Amino acid sequence: MTKKKLFKRIALIFLSAVILTPLVFISSGSTKIQPYYSGDAISYRGQLIFGTANSGYLEIFKLNGNDVDLLVKVKDYNPTFNSYNDYSDLRFSSENGSLYVYAISQYTVFKYDFSGLNSLTLVNKVKNNYWEWYKEIEKLGDSLALISDKGVKIINGNLDVIDSYNFTGVEPYSVASNGANDKILAIGDSKIKIFDRSSRQVTKEIALNFTSDNKNHKAYLDVSNNKIYAIDDYYAKKFDATTGQLLASFRHLDATGYGLESTVGNDYVYFSNGLGVVKLNKDKFTVADFVYTTMSGGPQGWAIGLKLVNTDKGDILVVFNSSNIILLDGKLDKIASVKAIEDMDEKPQEGLYLNLNHRSATVGGVVNLTGGGFWANDKLQILVGETEIAIVNADGNGRFNTSLTIPDVKKDKQGIKVNGLNSGLTYSTSFEVK
């Protein structure tokens, strides 16, 4: 029996024995599980960094051996109204040796420096004044782009809009170019739509067959061989990117086809169909490997979004698997996983405050700092002026108490500031370095 037939037979047995309920999460009071369906990943200084905004938080993780470390979990805090806005998407970008995180929340785009991998430092943020609600931020060729129901806007590193395209009527999370600077790819009305950036119009449409109302579809454009790989609810397919001709197809499981992922020069393409992930040989379009992810990272797994990262240890596939995120190696063996968070609708129990036992000290001196009004168990960054001197954790009541040794900084009225890295809350108090 071929591996292809075996894959089908096992799937049918599996489906007859298990009733799958993807994307159903039990809510109790204000606690609910937020499903993971999309995100981004990057190799930075030899470390795999990945993240998502599906929960409304920016959640950024690092692969640490066979474990996953949560580096940041933060919402967009609005101090004017003491409220929080949900983030909706993020993208990593390595620029001149530094790591940046671009994120969107409602009508605003943010740029954060994340080079230290411990806190987000705001570089810039821009809010549009024409009520355009951003749904996706994506890398299109050499540029970043903001995607909304009104089209695609190309931005530069300063978050200025430098071009825009009237490319509408597509699923927001389907927009991609996979390195191409002349084309934009998206899915809408059960078709792959190819938008030419020079003529500024859709030049080709390729039909797909979707039987469900599920979204989060994504095709892959391989700029190295001018092929498009896509998956619908019946087949994974390979097309000529110029003519749209169907070159090969692979019947999967009559399940929801979500997306495909690969990298330039890679011999394989990976696709997700809820039940799991399949690795196909690009040329022969035959199965090289497969894995079921419905239980791999915990119950209620359902493979949706994919991100493939080439590392010095080979391919690592980040699978946004509904109730969890799973990291797989090139053989589709599990490396690690992280469960979806519970949204507790956290709010401070009291107003923000900071108290010092001394309002001034010399370099090398020790002062005691206490504070409160942060989230329970919030991760707190403490700075003297602009110099980080400590990271501490708040207790279950959002309070902390710590001793600080004053670093060798400019002798002046520097002030001490505490940033809640999970909550986004910030508070400062006057302090002088003598």
pLDDT of amino acid 347: 66
Q: Average pLDDT, whole number, for the chain?
A: 89
For residue 94 the two structure tokens come to 């390595």
The segment(s) of the chain belonging to CATH 2.130.10.10 are: 20-343
Distance between CA atoms of residues 126 and 396, nearest Å: 34
pLDDT of amino acid 28: 40
Q: Quickly name the fold that domain 353-433 has.
A: Immunoglobulin-like (2.60.40)
Q: Which DSSP string corresponds to 389-430?
A: EEEEE--TTS-EEEEEEPPS--SSB--EEEEETTT--EEEE-
The segment(s) of the chain belonging to CATH 2.60.40.1930 are: 353-433
Residue 32: φ, ψ to 5°: -150, 155
Residue 425 CA to chain centroid, in angstroms? 22
pLDDT of amino acid 342: 64
pTM of the model: 0.81
Superfamily designation of domain 20-343: YVTN repeat-like/Quinoprotein amine dehydrogenase (2.130.10.10)
Per-residue pLDDT of 158-208, as tens digits, reads 999 999 999 999 998 999 999 999 999 999 999 999 999 999 999 999 999
Mean predicted confidence (pLDDT) in 390-410: 91
Distance between CA atoms of residues 96 and 78, nearest Å: 31
Per-residue pLDDT of 210-242, as tens digits, reads 987 778 899 999 999 999 999 999 999 999 999
Distance between CA atoms of residues 268 and 248, nearest Å: 14
DSSP 160: -
DSSP 349: S
**Which amino acid belongs to residue 373?**
G
Distance between CA atoms of residues 307 and 102, nearest Å: 17
Per-residue pLDDT of 371-385, as tens digits, reads 998 988 888 999 998
Per-residue pLDDT of 283-322, as tens digits, reads 999 999 999 999 888 888 999 999 999 998 899 999 999 9
Burial of 371 (0-12, 13-18, 19+ CB in 10 A): buried
For residues 405 and 376, the answer to whether their CB atoms sit within 8 Å is no
Distance between CA atoms of residues 277 and 302, nearest Å: 10
Residue 10: φ, ψ to 5°: -60, -40
Region at 126 (left for phi over 0; alpha for psi -120 to 50; beta for the rest): beta
Distance between CA atoms of residues 29 and 130, nearest Å: 36
